[in-house]
Structure 1
Amino acid sequence: MTKDLSEKGWNFDNSYARLPKVFFTSQNPTPVQSPKIVMFNKSLAMSLGLDREKLESEEGAQVFAGNKIPDGASPLAQAYAGHQFGHFTMLGDGRAVLLGEQITPTDERFDIQLKGSGRTPYSRGGDGRAALGPMLREYIISEGMHGLGIPTTRSLAVVTTGEEIARESYLPGAILTRIAASHLRVGTFQYAARWGSADELRTLADYAIKRHYPEIEENDNRYLTFLHEVIKRQAMLIAKWQLVGFIHGVMNTDNMTISGESIDYGPCAFIDTYDPAAVFSSIDREGRYAYGNQPNIGVWNLARLAEALLPLLHENQEEAVTLAQDKLSDFAQFFELNWLEGMRAKLGLFNEEEQDKPLIKDLLDMMQKHGADYTNTFRALTLDKPEETILMGTAEFTQWLERWKARLGRQQESKESYIQLMKNSNPAVIPRNHRVEEALEAANNGDYRVMEKLLEVLSNPYAYSPEQLEYTTLPAPAARPYRTFCGT
């Protein structure tokens, strides 16, 4: 620890830097010409125990750009591997540097990472830089996910660098300061299993357990329990994605965290019209990471984690495989429990009945058939305004409403109680794709007011406030489908 926790400011520890050297390369960020803070998350800074005033100054811009290394930091680039669209490859932080781990006034530990901070030994020919648009996009989406109550990395700041970077055209450069419970990934364990020794794999697993699952350190087979706990967290996380209509877009194994946080908001998006086959990412040409396929990809990724952990699960490989398969088979049940609980809450249901699942499925099928907006359909039901959905007037929806009202009437809770449950479970607003693009376009022209207003609305998406009403409107019909692009 570098200082008294009662003081404001950087309070770095560097536990990852104490791991075997195979897992990282010590690396300072590459300085930039003229950094300028364009976004700064004041409330997050305060919760981290940082000196807000100092960070809003020129000194803060120098730190967030990587031009100045804070006292106590030990910058490094992490090594990891990953299956990208099913193909295994060596990866690593090709354009990011971990400054260290901030210890907060409440004794929590968070990674402080600069994304877009220059080339590293893992850059694989890339320039190590990031464009302003994708960094602002990650800022919006990650803070939007936080507002929705979904475990996520967060964004502390974005600085412009005063430099241009070459993509399809020349774009303004930027660096994002990302905050995470850690940057340990499924791909970190794949890397350890392929290129590390058995002792290094064990050391990594012990580190992950100590950092994220300390309650299981004394378990007889803590590595099997570790796998079990990661499976549980990921099942819960992906269920939360499905419940709000979020599509990650690039669920490679290097983008699945051990902590259970959402990470890497590249070609992600939120669905408007409900469609399990929805894909927005320009690079997902086969629909591997479609909205409805995310649970399947989740368990596929977790199987890769299980493979990496096999040497730790049992000395007999056949027995290790059996143990791993047994744990992986629990994913479907964990996901279903979380998803069903969430869907019941979205419909105001406190208890469980056998016919709840058909009730939910029939609503989703109608939404898909008629092209209904996912978020606004549940919003209309919450406000008891079914006439505001395009489903209204169809015989099947009229019958469904009767079934739903009868189901609500069979529970003891009052109407006020179930409406409040629905308000707590159905966001009035989400980071709609056209609103995100609108904010990014304005910011690229130097106007950050649109983005700031959007962030304010997204900070409490369950408020159902008058200010949120304009953000519930759907985009105008487009000639071409909405597409998102990878920031590199």
Structure 2
Amino acid sequence: MLFDAALPHRRPAVKSEPGLFSIGTIITAANLPLDNSFASLPPAFYTRLMPTPLPAPYLVGVSAPAAQLIGLTPDDVAASLDILIGNAVPERAQPLAAVYSGHQFGVWAGQLGDGRAILFGDVAGADGPLELQWKGAGLTPYSRMGDGRAVLRSSIREFLCSEAMHALGIPTSRALSVAGSDQGIIRETMETAAVVVRMAPSFVRFGSFEHWYYRKQTDQLKVLADYVIDRFYPALRDAENPYAALLEEVTRRTAHMIAQWQAVGFMHGVMNTDNMSILGLTLDYGPYGFMEAFDANHICNHTDQQGRYSYANQPQIGHWNCYALAQAMLPLIGDVEATQAALDVYQPEFGSKMDELLHAKLGLTMLDEHFEADRTLFDDLFAILPGVDFTLFFRRLSGVRAADAGGDEPLRDLFIDRPAFDAWAERYRDRLRAEASDDVKRAVAMNQTNPKYVLRNYLAQVAIEKAQNKDFSELERLLKVLQRPYDEQPEHEQYAALPPDWASHLEVSCSS
């Protein structure tokens, strides 16, 4: 097999005769009917290479729903440990690391690329092809000063949050598995290595386009844009200007995704252009966080000294990133006005989606005739919300009764300034009565919009610390809870409680 010499110690994958995947064939991780559409691009777009083996691998976790997307069971995945960690390569894999560039914290960083990710192919999934990547599988030509590895801590965080975000209904890459090794990796302290197998229809980024623009290689820029349109947006081929149509669609998807982040209190932490998906997916989970005590200026990444990626800044940074993509695509679009028109969809699309989500979170259905009053109601809510647990507030809001304050107490208990809450709650009740809201029906709808369970940092930390001692029971339990975020799950009530005092001291950074 090509590049075998680069991986002398890898254990061989199960051999299968290529092309014979009939209805009766048993598919495993070793004989997945892989393709690699990205490998069809010119060689300048990537470097072919093999993953670097890790000693004594062990399985940490598997996502059953993610496995199902590619026709595997958790047992199928677990039986392929060497493949999950990159010590063996599936029969049809064509491993490669992609090149891209990007703006990091608003500054042009030049060439970046897959510094610790290796794409090994794509497979037909239930909703279309899915690319599979190892993250943490060793050095690539794009690792720069890094070691090409991921640590167990950050791998568990990516695994859990990918699946949690999907369960919340937010566009995201997925995570199939985590596998670990006791090989030491130096970050702030000595940690151990791990590899996540993650999946997405594509890992092409805004920075993939910037790479060719800043190198003044318009031919390569066009190859990439045509690949993205033909594979993921074929309907745009009929547009008057397919490249302008592509920019507009990506801008729209990005605006919607960030509105969904804001609605659940999710903070990405590193919204660099190389971390922005051309498909509008949440990508590259590092120092993320879910809002606990509400603070619009909260910064979840302690590396972000200036607060560029704070919760309040995420919408405008999303817009900024779309401008960076537009600059890169301008040579293809060929017209400044058409480029600006494509970008102009961001603000109205974000505003419209945010308005839709806030109405749903408050259980309000009559929109147009109350538009201005509702905007004031929302603004005044966020004015009294600082210090109040974001997730618990919206979940408990469903208990408010339209007729009287009898259902307010669990919600009121979250506030220090209770008179301010009481005044706002009366206005909210007036608004509910204006549309003759039914308490029971409204509560059911709100509880399918406002999650009870999100991946709080301390929950991830507890699972990580146990996993570092080879106890994966908490990881498995937490994953199952997060896969049903809107259900009551009374047996897991502790996962929806206010965070303990020690949780406020947790910090995550770009190495997380």
Q: If the length of structure 2 is used for normalisation, what is the TM-score?
A: 0.90
Matching residue of 2:201: 181
What does residue range 162-173 of structure 1 map to in structure 2 within 5 Å? Answer: 162-173=182-193
Matching residue of 2:378: 360
Secondary structure of the 1:12 match is coil
Identity over aligned residues, as a percent? Answer: 39
Matching residue of 1:88: 108
Q: Distance in 2 between matches of 1:266 and 1:382?
A: 32
Secondary structure of the 2:143 match is coil
What does residue range 215-234 of structure 1 map to in structure 2 within 5 Å? Answer: 215-234=235-254
AA partner of residue 310 (structure 1): L
Is 1:398 the counterpart of 2:422? The answer is yes
Cα deviation digits, residues 467-486 of structure 1 (max 9, x gap):
24211212233596431122
Q: Distance in 2 between matches of 1:433 and 1:52?
A: 26
Is 1:72 the counterpart of 2:92? The answer is yes
AA partner of residue 196 (structure 2): L
Q: CA deviation at 1:398?
A: 1.7
Cα deviation digits, residues 309-356 of structure 1 (max 9, x gap):
001112xxxxx2222222222211110110110010000011202211
Q: CA deviation at 1:125?
A: 2.4
Q: Return 287-296 or 23-32, whichever deviates more.
A: 23-32
Matching residue of 2:396: 380
Q: Distance in 1 between matches of 2:327 and 2:103?
A: 13
AA partner of residue 182 (structure 1): S
Secondary structure of the 1:381 match is helix
Q: 2:344 aligns with which of 311, 329, 337?
A: 329
Secondary structure of the 1:13 match is coil
C-alpha distance 310-62 of structure 1, shift in aligned 2 (>3 A): same
Is 1:212 the counterpart of 2:228? The answer is no
Q: Distance in 1 between matches of 2:20 and 2:496?
A: 46
Q: Return 14-23 or 413-422, whichever deviates more.
A: 413-422
Q: Return 207-216 or 128-137, whichever deviates more.
A: 207-216
Q: Distance in 2 between matches of 1:391 and 1:27?
A: 56
AA partner of residue 99 (structure 1): F
Unaligned runs of 5+ in 1: 315-319
CA RMSD of aligned residues (A): 1.8
- Cα contact 2:187–2:511 (8 A) shared by 1: no
Q: Distance in 2 between matches of 1:51 and 1:420?
A: 33
Q: Distance in 2 between matches of 1:54 and 1:344?
A: 43
- Cα contact 1:3–1:11 (8 A) shared by 2: no
Q: 2:493 aligns with which of 454, 469, 478?
A: 469
C-alpha distance 170-481 of structure 1, shift in aligned 2 (>3 A): closer
Secondary structure of the 2:270 match is coil
Q: Distance in 1 between matches of 2:55 and 2:395?
A: 47
C-alpha distance 3-301 of structure 1, shift in aligned 2 (>3 A): farther
Matching residue of 1:317: none
Q: CA deviation at 1:460?
A: 0.8
Q: CA deviation at 1:465?
A: 2.5
Q: 1:201 aligns with which of 198, 213, 221?
A: 221
Q: CA deviation at 1:197?
A: 2.4
Q: 2:60 aligns with which of 12, 34, 38?
A: 38
Matching residue of 2:283: 263
- Cα contact 1:392–1:398 (8 A) shared by 2: no
Is 1:111 the counterpart of 2:126? The answer is no
- Cα contact 2:173–2:199 (8 A) shared by 1: yes
Cα deviation digits, residues 125-182 of structure 1 (max 9, x gap):
2111111111011111111111111111111111113411122332111111011121
AA partner of residue 202 (structure 2): S
Secondary structure of the 2:238 match is coil
- Cα contact 1:185–1:254 (8 A) shared by 2: yes
Matching residue of 2:263: 243
Q: If the length of structure 1 is used for normalisation, what is the TM-score?
A: 0.94
Cα deviation digits, residues 72-129 of structure 1 (max 9, x gap):
111000000011111112100111100011112x461111000000001111121111
Secondary structure of the 1:146 match is helix
Q: CA deviation at 1:413?
A: 5.5
C-alpha distance 467-383 of structure 1, shift in aligned 2 (>3 A): farther
Q: 2:325 aligns with which of 280, 284, 305?
A: 305
AA partner of residue 322 (structure 1): E
AA partner of residue 351 (structure 1): M
Secondary structure of the 1:292 match is coil
- Cα contact 1:235–1:334 (8 A) shared by 2: yes
Q: Return 79-88 or 106-115, whichever deviates more.
A: 106-115
Q: Distance in 2 between matches of 1:482 and 1:218?
A: 50
C-alpha distance 51-397 of structure 1, shift in aligned 2 (>3 A): closer
AA partner of residue 48 (structure 1): I
Secondary structure of the 1:156 match is strand
- Cα contact 2:62–2:74 (8 A) shared by 1: no
Cα deviation digits, residues 251-306 of structure 1 (max 9, x gap):
00011001111011111111101111001212100000000100010000010100
Q: Return 200-209 or 36-45, whichever deviates more.
A: 36-45
Matching residue of 1:14: 36
C-alpha distance 21-256 of structure 1, shift in aligned 2 (>3 A): same
What does residue range 439-478 of structure 1 map to in structure 2 within 5 Å? Answer: 439-478=463-502
Matching residue of 2:434: 410
- Cα contact 1:428–1:468 (8 A) shared by 2: no
- Cα contact 1:2–1:12 (8 A) shared by 2: no
Matching residue of 1:97: 118
Is 1:154 the counterpart of 2:143? The answer is no
Q: Return 8-17 or 163-172, whichever deviates more.
A: 163-172
Matching residue of 2:3: none
Secondary structure of the 1:424 match is coil
Q: 1:136 aligns with which of 149, 156, 168?
A: 156
Q: CA deviation at 1:455?
A: 1.0
Q: Distance in 2 between matches of 1:195 and 1:11?
A: 36
Matching residue of 2:354: 339
Q: Distance in 1 between matches of 2:22 and 2:306?
A: 50
Secondary structure of the 2:509 match is coil
- Cα contact 1:386–1:392 (8 A) shared by 2: no
